[in-house]
A = this chain, B = another copy of it.
Amino acid sequence: MNILDAESDRSNRLLRALMRMPVDMTPVWLMRQAGRYLPEYRALRAQAGSFMNLCQTPELACEVTIQPIRRYPLDAAILFSDILTVPDAMGLGLSFVEGEGPRFAQPVRDRHDIARLRAPDPFASLRYVLDTVGRVRRELAGLCPLIGFSGSPWTLATYMVEGQASDDFRRVKGLLFSDPAALSDLLSVLVDAVTAYLNAQIEAGAQAVMIFDTWGGSLAAHHFLRYSRDPMAAVVAGLNRSRDGVTVPVVVFTKGGGSWLPALAETGCDALGIDWMTSLAAARAATAGRVALQGNLDPMALYAPPARLKAEVEAVLADFGEGSGHVFNLGHGVRPDVDPAQVGVCIDAVHAVSRRPLR
């Protein structure tokens, strides 16, 4: 029996919804569901010493991935990792400074730096991620699917050129304006790197993959198409989208991309992540049912009184409306100081409100 045959099983709901097939209730997972708001995560994080050690030790990364699945009736696990593992594997030297976020020891500043870059072989330098994927699949034993992920080429490029988080993207936009050919070369290497990385995750067992375009929303519309959307489309075109005869759906999420959804659907992905500023009804109309939609509760609603949180969950479900093709999620990640009980209220409300009789 194809694992996607049943409509009513926690193991199938996410993948069916991403392929716009009917489900018994709306599947739900939350960005950063494995993370600091969970006391069991904080305990393991303390034990690991550093965040990078947590990511790079398959036993620990697997445990962190599974922690929220034990606690909540989530419909998917998402690989615990960081979007910057790929540039780290390219030799940029990733570290995390407490309270300051990621930092590269060797940022990429000009065409000479870019000319030296090579797409890493994920089976060599990112072996730890693939080992984590395999281990998680074995631990989950079919309970729910595992989602793999990568940063988008543009988003990786922003960190690689800036060297750290930025609020104005001055260096990477400086490169865009002063040497667009060099930026295109950088993105081209990153298309190869991200494609190989996601294909390796699929080979290792990831049942769906998501491309996080965290900073696509910083670009002017015409630059977005060229420097963020087109590279993502090239990645999607290069993915092995089925494994053992089962489709591996691809989700593309550009935060702040609400006015570019038709252009994003043209990447060839199966689903689009939707931030909380974009109405799901409007997103559905703009994409004319060509893709599934994943989102989009405001992460701040997790601080609301429980009755109000439930009402906000209902509003998201009602905004999407009837029919197939919705995966519930936040519009961005769970914040570190959210009460874990509130996450439970949210997940339970999604299932309770969306439960529908099987035909």
Contact = CB atoms under 8 A, between A and B. Distances in A.
A66 to B, nearest CB: 28
A278 B300 contact: no
Given A221-B319, A224-B277, 18 more contacts: A173-B298, A173-B303, A174-B300, A174-B303, A174-B304, A177-B304, A177-B308, A177-B309, A177-B312, A178-B304, A178-B305, A220-B276, A221-B276, A221-B279, A222-B279, A222-B319, A259-B278, A259-B282
Interface of A: 168-170, 173-174, 177-178, 217-224, 256, 258-259, 276-279, 282, 296-298, 300-301, 303-305, 308-309, 312, 315, 319, 331, 335
A158 to B, nearest CB: 12
A152 to B, nearest CB: 16
A183 to B, nearest CB: 12
Contacts of A298: 173, 219-220, 223
A93 B329 CA distance: 40
A282 B296 CA distance: 23
- Chain A to chain B: the 3 pairs with minimum beta-carbon distance, closest first: A177-B304, A258-B259, A221-B279
A297 B168 CA distance: 14
Nearest to A224: B277
Given A168-B335, A177-B308, A178-B308, A221 B303 contact: no
Nearest to A259: B258
Contacts of A173: 298, 300, 303
Contacts of A220: 276-277, 296-298, 331
Nearest to A173: B300
A101 to B, nearest CB: 13
Nearest to A174: B303
Contacts of A221: 276-279, 282, 319
A207 B183 CA distance: 44
Contacts of A305: 177-178
A98 B65 CA distance: 43
B277 A170 contact: no
B222 A277 contact: no
A253 B278 CA distance: 17
Contacts of A279: 221-222, 259
17 contacts: A170-B303, A173-B298, A173-B303, A174-B304, A177-B300, A177-B301, A177-B309, A178-B308, A218-B277, A220-B296, A221-B277, A221-B279, A222-B315, A224-B277, A258-B258, A258-B259, A259-B259
A225 to B, nearest CB: 9
Contacts of A177: 300-301, 303-305, 308-309, 312
Select the residue from A220, A282, A303, A312 with max chain B CB neighbours within 10 A.
Answer: A220
Given A221-B277, A224-B277, A277-B224, A170 B315 contact: no
Contact of A300 (B168, B300, B312): B168
